[in-house]
Amino acid sequence: MTTSNNQLIAQQAVRRRTFAIISHPDAGKTTLTEKFLLYGGRVEVAGAVRGRKTLRATASDWMEIEKQRGISVSSTVLPFEYQGYQINLLDTPGHHDFSEDTYRTLMATDCAVMVIDLAKGVEPQTQKLFRVCALRKIPVLTFINKVDRPGLDPLAVISEIEAKLQIEPVPMNWPIGSGLDFGGLVDLATHQAYLFDKTSGDLRVPYETIPLDRLHQQNLRAGIAHHALEEVELLHSAGARFDPQRFLSGSATPVFFGSALKNYGIEHFLRAFLDLCPSPSPRRSNLGLIPPAAADFSGFVFKIQANLDPRHRDRVAFVRICGGRFERDMEVLHERTGNRVRLGRAHLVFGRERETIDEAFPGDIVGLVNPGVFRLGDTLCEGQPLRYEPLPQFPPEHFAILRCPSSDRRKQFERGLNQLIEEGAIQVFVDPRASHQELILGAVGELQFDVVRYRLESEYLTQTTIEWLPFKSARWIASAPGDTTPPRLRLPYGTRIVKDQYGGTAVLLQSQWDSDLLTRDNKHVQIMTVRDAATADFELSESEIAQANR
Ligand code: G4P
């Protein structure tokens, strides 16, 4: 590897910004994504974002669309250039297609933008997604959206962020009024106010910049300027200062107000985003931290997506490049199996389009057409063999038993299910104590069950019936390495202790109440919401699946 090649990798890595937007449905993620793309010059693409959302309107429509078009509606990465940066915006499906993939995608980002609706505050899905960012200490910028509409008291929303998410919110700007009375934004660092031209519908809304002490002279409704100045004074005396180190370590989040729809504050936010969002940082592996500018290529699979088109039914493994340079047709080590694989069919998957990729750098995502070789969490590398940290396992929220009513399709059913479990399309649990053992399937999103059933039907020609179980969540019980005896637990009524596909012990719960009781009554064990998966070798074999289904 030559010095100039190393320099090229370093230069390219430094200009990458790989991030995701997290939010509760309707907070404005799609609108903000469009604005990112519009400012980034991918105008034609912005419409596609809205289009995709419309297509996702209902779960059944979504399946229909998958079937008719033979594509997956949910894209994985929206790449675009902006002011010399290569920005990779990773898509985090949020509505009906909210699934474990949404969480796993966050494992491949370097930063997240959290969108909060000013009228709603911190909502449940935001909280869940934020927890995943917190798990990996991913830096988070906060955008409080819809200042053009009447909302909650901004100070109350700030307090809520702190209370619910346990992160220090540091306001960077502050709204002057809201709804019809919205006058503009105060930049808390420069003490200037930006007064937007509210009659302009343009992307770049014209605004006047004035020093804060002239705010009183503006034509704002009585009390608005006074109130805003009081709040700014209050924030000032509270003394919250933005500390880049605390942001990068996930302890503090800079907070920006604005309106994605009306473009208020968007330009400032994007500029701040480019300043703050880190370029790819070193990643943890069994060999220690691997720097992006490493001479050798390495990356990990964070998502596997099946193409539901019966004409070319391939699977795409999405790889986040962590170090070195990817080149099409390169041969790399597939660390889990020890085999060498040639990365021939590499794509940039963008919405419905697939563009062949010739080279890519740390922070980029490439889609590899996967002939069943890759699994979630797999590491691909050149040079000295290394393994990136395993992907965590997230608690499912829906549980069910799938059955194959036709006895002559049982074999195909078992093979198909086993394949889908391996792919990570769905989680699986077994109750070792049950007299009649059946596989309990678990998924973060209900749509995952639809996809599994659809694929069993179309790829393995197997009809299934489904029996929903009353569980709503799971908690894992930590055990020491090599410890095979299940811990003694006091279980709340109606819960079930099970093994997951990696041999971990989990408890299936029907409510938050159960979860609280489990924690209260079992202080002698460590109870985990998220499990760092799969260092264990244990996997259910086809024969075990067959036995469990009998
Ligand atoms: P999501 O992806 O987070 O689900 O939200 P999305 O951007 O689709 O926004 C949800 C709704 O909120 C949309 O309205 C959108 O126009 C609106 N919205 C987004 N940002 C703002 C904002 O800054 N101010 C105001 N007033 N509204 C905003 P919709 O009627 O549901 O959809 P559409 O008909 O506009 O597409």
For a ligand 1 pocket test, name from 22, 26, 49 the mutation site with the most ligand atoms within 8 angstroms of its C-beta: 26
Q: Is 150 in the pocket of ligand 1 (CB under 6 A)?
A: no
Residue 29 alpha carbon to ligand 1 centre in Å: 8
CA-to-CA distance for 323 and 335, rounded, in angstroms?
15
10 Å CB burial of residue 356 (0-12, 13-18, 19+) is exposed
Helices (H), ranges, 139-292: 154-165, 224-238, 244-248, 266-276
Query: pLDDT tens digits for 37-61?
Result: 888 776 555 555 655 555 444 333 4
Q: Is 282 in the pocket of ligand 1 (CB under 6 A)?
A: no
The first and second tokens of residue 269, run together, are 């936010």
Mean pLDDT on 496-519: 93
Residue 62 has pLDDT above 50, yes or no: no
Instruction: Say how far residue 43 (Cα) sits from the centre of its chain.
Output: 24
Query: pLDDT tens digits for 3-40?
Result: 688 899 999 999 999 999 999 999 999 899 888 888 87
Bridge partners (DSSP) listed for residue 527: 477
Which atom of ligand 1 has the smallest separation from the CA of 260?
23
Residue 266 alpha carbon to ligand 1 centre in Å: 15
Q: Is 423 helix (H, G, I), strand (E, B) or coil?
A: helix
The first and second tokens of residue 492, run together, are 């709340």
Residue 53 alpha carbon to ligand 1 centre in Å: 11
CB atoms within 10 A of CB 361: 24
CA-to-CA distance for 316 and 305, rounded, in angstroms?
5
For a ligand 1 pocket test, name from 148, 261, 263 the mutation site with the most ligand atoms within 8 angstroms of its C-beta: 261
Look up residue 388 and give its DSSP letter.
Answer: B
Which atom of ligand 1 has the smallest separation from the CA of 25?
4
Under 8 Å between Cβ of 416 and 459: yes
CA-to-CA distance for 419 and 412, rounded, in angstroms?
10
Helix pair 542-549, 410-423: axis angle to 10 deg: 120
Nearest CA to ligand 1 atom 25: 146
**What is the percent of the chain where pLDDT is above 90?**
55
pLDDT for 65:
43
Query: pLDDT tens digits for 97-107?
Result: 678 888 899 99
Residue 72 has pLDDT above 60, yes or no: no
Cα distance between the two ends of the chain: 55
Q: What is the CA radius of gyration of the chain?
A: 25
Q: Is 317 helix (H, G, I), strand (E, B) or coil?
A: strand
Nearest CA to ligand 1 atom 30: 26
CA-to-CA distance for 122 and 103, rounded, in angstroms?
18
What is the identity of the amino acid at 317? A
Q: Is 31 in the pocket of ligand 1 (CB under 6 A)?
A: yes
pTM for this one? 0.88
